Structure 1
Amino acid sequence: MQQVRKLTNHRICDFHYCLREPMRLCRLAGLFPVDGLTNSSVFSLRFSLKFPYILFHAASVIGITITTGFSVIWFFLSPFSLNTLSIALFYVTGLLSTVLLIHLAMNWSKLIRRVLEIEVNLVEIRRAKTAFWKYNTITYMIMFLALLEHAMSIISKITSVMSDLNESRVTYNVLDKYFLSWAPFIFDVTSYSLWKSILFKIANTQATFAWNITDVMTMCVSIYLTSYFQDLNEIINNQYKSMSWEKLRILYSQLVALVKEIDSRFCYLILLSFFTNLFFICLQLFNTLNSIHSTVYLLYYLYSFVFLITRATVTCLLAANVNKAAQEPMFVVGYVPASDYTLEVQRFNRQIRYTTTALSGVYFYVTRSTLLYVVGTIITYELVLLQFNLETADDADLNNNGTLYKYMKMTV
């Protein structure tokens, strides 16, 4: 144990570097109060509410909470429709993401140090230097595409308002009309003012950020865990005769412990990510099938829809790769010659076969079959939404205001 502690003082934690950039972005967004994210040493990480960051963090949490409160109040005061439901769900999930990120921040240093202890025990199976640039590339690429989508939604809506008002440039009148059409859930409840609009717009951007960064974290964690299983699988496939089956089983058990440790902190974020993506994919498809496309929103709609589908699919596939990589040793163990099939091989085989090693969303494991289940769920609920639209007159505004009217009220 003492030797492990000495090693952890000098070794770089792969997991820390894996999620360092996403967590730094969370901190810049006012949602992750942890110091030491820029340092290479994990022992400088600590949950901190120091001045002046505490002011920014508190303002962010309060802003998202108030905005969510307005959306929920508006939902209960207005006639039920997909419009009011989708807006309320968007902000409620944004608030839940914020709360989960704060809870993760409070336990971040403990998680990183525990993961580092496990990584030290897995040093001998690491075959290549970790390519940290992969995590950074995924992080900034996804967040840039999300920022582009957000900017396109704003531009398309302002352009529509300018066309309605016959304005050739952005004026205060255009901005007022834009904010009023963007946030009826706020200004139906409280009086309008420009400063309120700007503050609520910031909260909206932070909620959008929380949605996207959750997928980014899931992607990075999935790649990190899969890489460790791939290294162990390479040893099992090519060099298992040079290492005892008992040692291989112990190393595999360490990887299982690593997955469970990380999953215990991320499972609720994964659940929220899958639920949010599923709901808004259904909503986008519903708008596609049930609306007349407006030229003003067409470019934004196509980009937004493709981005949402692609991001959700990649997130699911990468997360499912953890389970796939964890199951691969079973094919080698199953073909061990009878003369070499010892008690340790039998234990290893049973452990792989009867232990589900995968990231989870609390109530489900993320596997390849999960993606098929999600596709089936989308089709099912799409039929439900279409039936709901036929029977509910309250959804008439969906067709009257353009393809993306309801969705843009949330994201713009």
Structure 2
Amino acid sequence: MKTKQQRFKNDFLRTIATVFKAARWFGIPSQGGMTAMCASLIILLMLFALEVTAIWKLARAFGSVIARLSGAIFYGNALFSQILTWKFITSWQDLSNHWTRAERTLADPLLQDDTIRKKMIYTTSVVSACAFLEHVLSMMAATGFDCPPEEYFERYILTSHGFLLNSYEYRLFLGVPIFLLSKFATIMWNFQDLIIILVSMGLTSKYRTLNWRTYCIIKTVKHNKYNQSIKFEGKSFSQVQTWRRLRQAYVQQAALVRRVGDKLGALILLSNFNNLYFICLQLFLGINNEQGPPINRIYYMLSLSWLISRACGVVLAAADIRIHSQSVLPLLQTMCHGIFNVEVDRLKTQLKFDWVTLQGMGLFSLDRTLLLKVVAAIIKYELILIQFDN
């Protein structure tokens, strides 16, 4: 019978692999053979054609520039999101190998986080349910409740994609692919944020197990601080040897965060830019359109709340990596008096000065101070827009 530790080993890697496998249904052919590859290429080409059309319409715009710009940004995000997500998932096999090697740094297996799978399933379910509800409300707000069933499809396309088609340009053979692409684009938008959140949760979970191991070792050392060796999990080690292996585990974990960040950086940049733009847009539209049907006001409030929650979720999940990478430092500084060796000193220096966080291609770090900076930027943006609008 498998032990508890064996049952939960690599729960994160197995769960994230399942999520990536499901991505083949909306344009990311991580698995599925030539059929999934061909379908993904078709979606990619259609998104590219739609984005070119949106930019062309924007360049010739005489009406609502905001609507046309928003449409171009929305589908531009979908196009780049598919490319970058595809690239990241393709590189995941190499990253998972480094992930596994980082867990083997210590001779004794690390304690496993037996809650990570449940947390990932819960997070994925919440993101999927909220995204689905928000999109259904957007469709209801686009058509209203007085739309005859036979006119529903045409009204929805012309209302939600007025930046692409005028009423005299509408044809069913154009409306169907646009309708399908709008669903793919919405899924891509939510999926890119979900990837960042789940990967951040996995990295944080590894730091949590490392910190727990450190706490256990400190506790053991304090009970044997006059001895030159300690007994841990039934094995005897010298203190220097134990602390060296622990420090190397933190080194490898920091290297893993940087390696993942290098692969994920472009997607982080795209996600944060897109979320920031549409939060500002929703706030601006809400300020300038206070009247409207109840369904529109309900959709506005829910859509804005979901945008803000998802954007905060991305930043906070990634910020936890930074917090947990240093959370054991106060414990080392307060509990290791009289338990000094060169490896303990090196570990404290390493944790104090090593900046471990995910970054958006080196332009910004995902930590909690970023939320304050973004809030300040949004307030300035809205004040400027209101001033020019007046």
Alignment TM class, shorter chain as reference? 0.7 to 0.9
Is 1:17 the equivalent of 2:1? no
Look up the SS of the partner of 1:335 in the other structure: helix
Map of 2:149 onto structure 1? 170
Q: 1:277 pairs with 268, 275, 278, which one? A: 275
Map 1:91-130; keep pairs closer than 5 Å. Answer: 91-121=75-105, 124-130=109-115
Cα distance between partner residues in 2 of 1:84 and 1:139: 31
2:322 partner letter = N
Structure 1 residues 333 and 84: alpha-carbon distance in aligned structure 2, compared to 1, 3 A threshold: same
Cα distance between partner residues in 2 of 1:273 and 1:102: 15
Cα distance between partner residues in 1 of 2:357 and 2:167: 45
Q: 1:57 pairs with 31, 36, 40, which one? A: 40
Q: 1:197 pairs with 144, 162, 175, which one? A: 175
Q: Deviations over 1:315-349 (max 9, x none)?
A: 21111011000011221232355543332222212
Map 1:10-409; keep pairs closer than 5 Å. Answer: 13-30=10-27, 32-35=28-31, 50-79=33-62, 81-121=65-105, 124-159=109-144, 162=146, 167=147, 169-171=148-150, 173-188=151-166, 191-240=169-218, 241=221, 242=230, 244-295=242-293, 296-335=295-334, 337=336, 339-362=338-361, 363-390=363-390
**Shift in Å, 1:16:** 2.4
Cα distance between partner residues in 2 of 1:11 and 1:289: 49
Greater Cα offset, 183-192 or 261-270: 183-192
Cα distance between partner residues in 2 of 1:383 and 1:327: 38
1:34 partner letter = S
Instruction: Tell me the TM-score normalized by structure 2.
Output: 0.85
Q: Deviations over 1:256-315 (max 9, x none)?
A: 122112212111111111111111111111122222231240121121111111121122
Cα distance between partner residues in 2 of 1:81 and 1:129: 51
CA RMSD across the alignment: 2.4
Cα distance between partner residues in 1 of 2:99 and 2:336: 35
1:195 partner letter = F
* 8 Å contact kept, 1:156–1:300: yes
Cα distance between partner residues in 1 of 2:324 and 2:189: 27
* 8 Å contact kept, 2:85–2:192: no
Structure 1 residues 11 and 140: alpha-carbon distance in aligned structure 2, compared to 1, 3 A threshold: closer
Identity over aligned pairs, percent? 27
Cα distance between partner residues in 1 of 2:314 and 2:267: 13
Count of residue pairs the alignment pairs up: 360
* 8 Å contact kept, 2:81–2:189: yes
Cα distance between partner residues in 2 of 1:21 and 1:150: 24
Cα distance between partner residues in 2 of 1:261 and 1:88: 32
Structure 1 residues 341 and 300: alpha-carbon distance in aligned structure 2, compared to 1, 3 A threshold: same
2:376 partner letter = G
Unaligned runs of 5+ in 2: 1-6, 222-229, 231-238
Map of 2:234 onto structure 1? none
Q: Deviations over 1:347-371 (max 9, x none)?
A: 2122112211111112111112111
Cα distance between partner residues in 2 of 1:339 and 1:178: 72
Cα distance between partner residues in 2 of 1:116 and 1:11: 14
* Structure of greater relative contact order (alpha carbons < 8 Å, 6+ residues apart): 1
Cα distance between partner residues in 2 of 1:269 and 1:348: 32
Cα distance between partner residues in 2 of 1:127 and 1:33: 31
Map of 2:226 onto structure 1? none
Cα distance between partner residues in 2 of 1:54 and 1:347: 49
Q: Deviations over 1:38-73 (max 9, x none)?
A: xxxxxxxxxx7x332233112211121111111111
Cα distance between partner residues in 1 of 2:101 and 2:136: 43
